[in-house]
Structure 1
Amino acid sequence: MDTTAAAPGSSSDAPATPSVDRPVFPDGYGIPETTDGQLTWADVEPRLVQSLHYWISSVRPDGTPHSVPRWGVWVDGRFWYDGAPTTRHTRNVEKNPAVTLTLESGTEVVIIEGESVATRADAEGLGARLSEAFGKYKDSGYSPGPDSWSGEDGGGLRVITPKRAMAWFAFPKDCTRFTC
């Protein structure tokens, strides 16, 4: 996770290591009281990088939830994705940027909480790195070029900057909370 104060469109921010602890669950869930078995960010981040399918949950203006599957990439400790500004999701996050990002698995769980904001990426630097990372979708017919997000409107590019994360791959023994 990235804890730097750099602007979301900056080209290369060195992600800081988040703090790690146990999440608080009601009695009876069996969450260990010690740090034994906790995951590290190095255990979690590769799953964010390698995943093809992500779910983003936002809140409609009337307060009801909205979830949508998305393609995107994990680069520089943030999740980058694009889409039309007229989508329900984008209209939601323009009013309330709070989102939850999850991967598909219900047994190898990664949950990211953060904020989604509109941004842009110049073709050199970040745009090139995003284009390379989006290469994982080439066989599915999506391969944006480095200049896809460099226009004034950023080509619909958005970035989720994490505030908290939770992950487990063998619940409850490795259930871990990360705080940025």
Structure 2
Amino acid sequence: MGIITSSSLTIFSAGIGIGVTSAYFILRFKPKHRSSDDIWKNEMEERYEFEDPKDEYRLIMGVRNDLKMQKGKVAAQCGHAAVAAYAKSLKERPILLKKWLRYGGTKIAVRVDSEEELLTLHKAAQAENILSSIIRDAGQTQVAPGSRTVIAIGPAPKSALDKVTGHLKLY
């Protein structure tokens, strides 16, 4: 065995200090484990008027069929709608957003025959306390500036969405 010098003792002490400090911060700030029952109980604190709290959550995107948009345009407008729905949910109903994402963030595109029908869907969603966002196009390519192209309804439970959009056909 070798001789213990003051410099090796200093390095050893520093290592112990760093280890103890690191352990303290790791244990102090590590996320606490929560069971699924605890998570469910906490999420139930924010209540909505939906029938079944375990219902599958979805986002419905109503695409105006009368505008005759090309596939790429429809895809872009649906992308805008999904982002708008996400942002609105994050701001207004974050727990609802978490539930939707837990179900895989399901998005369903349906046909809307006119601007009037799109606006009717918006009012119906509001009446059911379901978030909705209407997308307006900038008008740089296929449609007139300010045209309402897509409505995002939800995310919300399927049972609630069916009351508003259940009659619509898939896009």
Superposition TM-score, scaled by structure 2 size: 0.28
- State TM-score, norm by structure 1: 0.27
Structure with the largest fraction of helix: 2
